[in-house]
């Protein structure tokens, strides 16, 4: 504990006596300084015990005391028996008026003894701080040992709360309290939601301290599975040693995560390799591969979900972290997306999780047996592409059939295809004032039947036949081919 006036006055070897009955003897002393100057304040920082034989305040005791009191002096020590004792009553009255403690220092006690006493007390205090910090670091490190990261995090928080006599909690990237010590401390996160968000979303390391009644709350960022915030609070102020202990807890939690994260990254790479293999394999062998890497498979059909888009945090690993915490399905990053395989009845929890991240899009496959998982992954990827093009949160692969072929093609690509295919006809119509494009569209709409198409155009059937033959020649394609007709129909209806 910091040395106080009471500590010095209770030391019988020093023989000090408080000269003001109402003196606050619990004031902390930062240092001891002696001076006989009429104004010693230029050489003081505040918090000192200033020693004088009475020569300094001799000219104007009231002005002298007022000056040093305003400067933040801890106390004034008056050395008696050295020739200026007649000023002690005036100095005592001024100190009583200003609320500044006054200590009588007997002639037998040299000023150096007070300096030595404070120096030794401060050295002992610093040593105690080092010991306390070291013991806390050892206890926190021991608590972090273990393979289960969730359990080790809980043990570290319990030790931290015990050491600081404080409440502690960790809020994760989803604004959920993952751990709290004691358990009821989790309720405090609601009132601190704004500060927690500010610390978590800060681009670099940051620490925030806020007042809470007569105490303090310290918030520091810490990475567990994802970005999180450690919150520590109590009903009195935190000392510098307390803050060092909190910093040690952050370091221990971060190192514990890093140790487990290495294995986690290896596991993620394995899952990515598994899904990549399943997406390219023939529809066989997937059940054994998944069983070996995932464990027992859900009963019934499986559904593949592809997540992508533009997450608010700008990184897909935020999604992976959220899925890791929720322990939903078999998931991995795959070709710039997050692919997830779940049972057919577990789709909604994944969509609910994805909905919490702004900017995320989802594509969902049709249910498929495990042997058709490769096809399901491809379906989910195509549905996600459509969701991103249409700026929709979710699209199911089954919905694409009702949207037509154009829904599967990027509009810019479709327009470029149409422009390239129909260019000879468009050029002919412009240069010769013809009507080949409209005639071809109407002819295809009537399945190649001349009479109804000609009637629709208001021309003779022979005129229409001549136009279609001309179009075929310009295009260099056999218009009797079903495949050619399908391509031309798509080109004629592609977005401009």
| pLDDT at residue 74, rounded to an integer | 92
HSE toward the beta carbon, residue 82, CA cutoff 13 A: 18
Q: Domain ranges in the chain?
A: 5-109, 129-259, 283-407, 411-492
Q: Domain 411-492's class?
A: mainly alpha
**Low-confidence residues of the chain, pLDDT below 50?**
262, 284, 312-314
- Quote the pLDDT of residue 478: 86
Is residue 426 within 8 Å of residue 437, measured between CB atoms?
A: yes
pLDDT tens-digit readout, 328-361? 777 777 777 788 888 888 888 888 877 776 778 8
CATH class of the 5-109 domain in this structure: alpha beta
Residues 6+ apart with CB under 8 A from 6: 25, 26
CA angle 212, 218, 223 (to 5 degrees): 145
Judge if the upstream peptide bond of residue 182 is cis by omega within 30 degrees of 0: yes
C-alpha to C-alpha distances, 36 to 52, 95, 124, nearest whole angstrom: 6, 17, 30
Length of the chain in terms of residues written: 496
The predicted pLDDT at position 313 comes to 47
How far is the C-alpha of 140 from the C-alpha of 163, rounded, in Å? 10
| Strand-pair partners of 342 | 303
Angle at 440 between CA 436 and CA 441, to 5 degrees: 120
- What is the rounded distance in angstroms from the CA atom of residue 177 to the CA atom of residue 458? 74
> Hey, what long-range contacts does 3-12 have (CB within 8 A, 24 or more apart)?
3/28, 3/29, 3/117, 3/118, 3/121, 3/122, 3/125, 4/28, 4/29, 5/29, 5/49, 5/74, 5/75, 5/101, 5/103, 7/121, 8/49, 8/103, 8/114, 8/117, 8/118, 9/103, 11/117
Q: What's the confidence (pLDDT) of residue 481?
A: 86
Residue showing tokens 């670099």: 204
* CATH of the structural domain 129-259, one choice from 2.40.50.100, 3.40.190.10, 3.30.450.40, 3.40.50.300: 3.30.450.40
Query: What architecture is domain 283-407?
Result: 2-Layer Sandwich (3.30)
- Bridge-based pairing of strands 17-18 and 177-181 is unpaired
């Amino acid at each position: 504990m910091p040395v106080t006036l009471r500590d010095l006055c209770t030391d019988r070897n020093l023989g000090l006596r408080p000269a003001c009955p109402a003196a606050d003897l619990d004031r902390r002393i930062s240092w001891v300084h002696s001076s006989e100057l009429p104004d010693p304040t230029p050489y003081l920082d505040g918090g000192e015990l200033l020693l004088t034989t009475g020569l300094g305040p001799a000219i104007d005791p009231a002005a002298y005391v007022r000056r040093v009191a305003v400067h933040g002096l801890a106390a004034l020590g008056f050395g008696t028996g050295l020739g200026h004792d007649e000023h002690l009553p005036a100095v005592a009255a001024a100190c009583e008026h200003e609320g500044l403690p006054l200590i009588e220092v007997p002639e037998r006690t040299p000023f150096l003894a007070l300096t030595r006493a404070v120096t030794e007390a401060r050295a002992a205090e610093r040593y105690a701080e080092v010991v306390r910090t070291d013991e806390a670091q050892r206890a926190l490190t021991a608590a972090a040992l273990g393979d289960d990261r969730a359990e080790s995090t809980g043990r570290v928080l319990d030790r931290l709360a015990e050491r600081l006599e404080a409440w502690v909690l960790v809020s994760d990237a989803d604004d959920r309290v993952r751990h709290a010590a004691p358990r009821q401390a989790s309720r405090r996160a609601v009132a601190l939601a704004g500060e927690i968000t500010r610390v978590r979303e800060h681009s670099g390391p940051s620490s925030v301290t806020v007042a809470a009644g007569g105490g303090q709350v310290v918030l520091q960022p810490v990475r567990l599975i994802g970005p999180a915030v450690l919150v520590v609070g109590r009903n009195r102020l935190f000392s510098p040693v307390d803050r060092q202990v909190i910093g040690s807890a952050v370091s221990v939690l971060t190192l514990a995560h890093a140790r487990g994260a290495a294995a986690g990254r290896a596991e993620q790479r394995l899952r990515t390799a598994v899904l990549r293999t399943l997406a390219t394999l023939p529809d066989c062998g997937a059940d054994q591969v998944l069983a070996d890497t995932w464990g027992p498979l859900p009963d019934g059909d499986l559904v593949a979900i592809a997540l992508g888009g533009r997450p608010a945090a700008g990184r897909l690993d935020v999604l992976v972290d959220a899925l890791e915490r929720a322990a939903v399905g078999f998931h991995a990053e795959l070709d710039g997306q997050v692919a997830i395989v779940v049972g057919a009845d577990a789709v909604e929890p994944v969509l609910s999780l994805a909905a919490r991240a702004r900017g995320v899009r989802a594509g969902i496959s049709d249910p498929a047996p495990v042997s058709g998982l490769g096809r399901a992954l491809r379906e989910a990827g195509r549905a996600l592409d459509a969701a991103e093009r249409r700026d929709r949160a979710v699209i199911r692969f089954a919905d694409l059939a009702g949207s037509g072929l154009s829904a599967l093609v990027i509009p810019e690509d479709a327009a470029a295809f149409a422009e390239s295919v129909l260019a000879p006809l468009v050029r002919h119509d412009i240069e010769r004032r013809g009507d080949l494009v409209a005639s071809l569209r109407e002819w295809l709409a009537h399945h190649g039947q001349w009479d109804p198409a000609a009637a629709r155009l208001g021309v003779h059937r022979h005129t229409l036949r001549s136009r279609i033959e001309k179009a075929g020649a310009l295009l260099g394609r056999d218009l009797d081919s079903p495949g050619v007709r399908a391509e031309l129909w798509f080109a004629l209806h592609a977005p401009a």
